[in-house]
């Protein structure tokens, strides 16, 4: 199919600049991409017949890693402070 309808994982490395040029980077386009990604994640890991805790735990682990990354500078500086 056309390059604009291909997914990122289906494009070749040489086609990557042309694929990025066809993407919609407006706020509405980015919001649509986030909604599509969440929908595919939800359908693959959470909304399944024989589901387990894997989908929710991956989401929780991702949140923990992201929040740790955001607070790393504060945590690193706080480690060397004395409490007396």
Distance CA 22, CA 5 (A): 9
Asked whether residue 21 falls in the same domain as residue 38, the answer is: yes
pTM reported for the whole predicted model: 0.54
Asked whether residue 47 falls in the same domain as residue 59, the answer is: no
Asked whether residue 45 falls in the same domain as residue 13, the answer is: yes
pLDDT of 82 over the 90 cut: no
pLDDT digit string, tens, across residues 26-61: 999 999 989 998 998 888 888 877 767 877 888 899
pLDDT of 75 over the 80 cut: no
Asked whether residue 1 falls in the same domain as residue 11, the answer is: yes
Distance CA 17, CA 37 (A): 21
User: Tokens at residue 12, please?
Assistant: 């070749």
């Amino acid at each position: 199919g056309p390059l604009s309808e291909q997914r990122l994982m289906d494009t070749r490395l040489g086609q990557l600049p042309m694929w990025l040029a066809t993407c919609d980077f407006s706020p509405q386009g980015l919001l649509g991409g986030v909604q599509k990604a969440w929908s595919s994640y939800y359908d693959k890991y959470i909304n399944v017949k024989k589901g387990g805790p894997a989908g929710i735990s991956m989401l929780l682990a991702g949140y923990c890693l992201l929040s740790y990354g955001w607070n790393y500078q504060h945590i690193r500086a706080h480690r060397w402070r004395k409490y007396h």
